[in-house]
């Protein structure tokens, strides 16, 4: 018994939608970064699904590069969030928008 590819794509779309909603609604920078990671993982799931359906490893290779970029984004983003937290004692995005200089 195999699961149809459409189910994986539906789960991918739901995860992407939850991540996009989180980016639009939340104000905490850490939660926004987690939602961006959720969106990247949803895209990875879709790429792996299409790779399996088409029988091509190009999608899987692309997933590897997306994971590398996501890891770099997390390290740089977390460093920026820690710096902003030390300076402002808050990770609310609205407070960061008021910074000058």
Residue 98: its pLDDT value, please?
64
pLDDT class for 68, splitting at 50, 70, 90?
very high
Task: Tell me the pLDDT of the chain averaged across its residues.
Answer: 88
For residues 14-25, average pLDDT? 96
- 90 burial class (0-12, 13-18, 19+ CB within 10 angstroms)? middle
Domain boundaries, the chain: 26-92
Round to whole Å and give the CA distance between 27 and 31. Answer: 8
Architecture in CATH for domain 26-92: Orthogonal Bundle (1.10)
pLDDT tens readout for residues 73-101: 889 988 888 888 888 787 777 666 666 65
With contact defined as beta carbons under 8 Å apart, do 81 and 92 qualify?
Answer: no
pLDDT value of residue 74: 87
The pLDDT of residue 90 is 76
């Amino acid at each position: 018994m195999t699961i149809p590819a459409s189910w994986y794509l539906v789960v991918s779309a739901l995860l992407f939608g939850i991540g996009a909603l989180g980016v639009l609604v939340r104000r905490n920078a850490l939660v926004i970064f987690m939602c961006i990671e959720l969106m990247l993982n949803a895209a990875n799931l879709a790429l792996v699904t299409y790779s399996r359906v088409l029988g091509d490893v190009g999608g899987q290779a692309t997933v590897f590069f997306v994971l590398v970029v996501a890891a770099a984004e997390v390290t740089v983003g977390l460093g920026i969030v820690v710096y902003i937290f030390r300076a402002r004692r808050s990770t609310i995005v609205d407070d960061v928008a008021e910074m000058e200089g």
